Amino acid sequence: MIRTAKALLMGAAIATASVAGFAGSSVAADKEINIGWTAWSDAEAVTKMAKKLIEENYDGYEVKLTLADIAVQYQGVAKGDLDMMMMAWLPGTHGDYMEKVAGDVIDLGPIYTGAKLGWVVPAYVPGDQLSSIADLKKDAVKEKLDGKIQGIDPGAGLMRLSSEAVDKYDLDDYELVSASGAAMTAALERAVKRNEWIVVTGWSPHWMFGAHKLRYLTDPEGALGGQERVHVIAREGFYQDNPEVGAFLARMYLPLDELQALMYDAQETSYEKAIDKYIEANPKRIDYWLTGKMG
């Protein structure tokens, strides 16, 4: 069973531990925190925001970001090679990863809720021809799509679920294309500019919903799951070694619509500028995250 931050606060004794990170340093000795992340727009937004707030508000901390495949992150946190990750999609998408490490990680709670996975099409694709994943079996639809579904990183939980959806809907004639998240959005951009049909593996929150008029295909079989929560998970002993930072992370929570707006702003400017803008616009919320005091 995963131990929560509340359980730690109520009953755990404060202890110190030296855990070697990817950078080869002891967190307890020099206050270095190593956060794993993947180049997904939501992960980049919350991870870089946490880095900025920790370094600027808690004395002596240096935060390093380690770019890694999602499966490697779970293993890294469980082994203590990473201090934490901020993109655990639960209960469904990363359920298999979490099950393997549940006894070796601490759950600091959700950073946002209402997340969703699915297959996405541009709004100009006629709904009377393609509104459901089941409609992909139509020969005319398959021809329009050139028999392809544009995916993301092969290690992503969304790709595992998408592969299962291909089987569940008997779409063996389709190619589920693996690529980076950036390659997926680039393919979507090209299709929209040309007014072409495309199906991409998508999720909310994502900046692409601010950039384009899109819709999810319905999933009557429930192959891609329902709404999800995105959690912060940390290595054993992280909360005891870093009680102030652990409490900050347990309080950090963004409404989905605000996160999505921040992500779109980041695409138009940069993540650094968008994060600065969000912090400036939400001083009471940021102060609560940092201090626990209600403004």
Residues 256-288 have pLDDT tens digits of 989 999 999 999 999 999 999 999 999 999 999
**More confident: 18 or 284:** 284
pTM: 0.74
8 A C-beta contact, residue 16 and residue 241: yes
**pLDDT band at residue 295 using 50, 70 and 90 as cut-offs:** low
Once rounded to an integer, what is the mean pLDDT over residues 105-117?
Answer: 95
Collapsed DSSP state (helix, strand, coil) of residue 282: coil
Is-contact 176 149, C-beta < 8 A?
A: yes
Cα-flanking dihedrals φ and ψ of residue 130, to 5°?
-145, 100
Distance CA 140, CA 126 (A): 12
Give me the domains of the chain, ranges plus CATH numbers.
3-114+228-291 (3.40.190.10), 115-216 (3.40.190.100)
Residue 36 has pLDDT above 50, yes or no: yes
DSSP codes of every residue in 58-112: STT-EEEEEE--HHHHHHHHHHTSSSEEEEEEETTTTHHHHHHHGGGEEEEEEEE
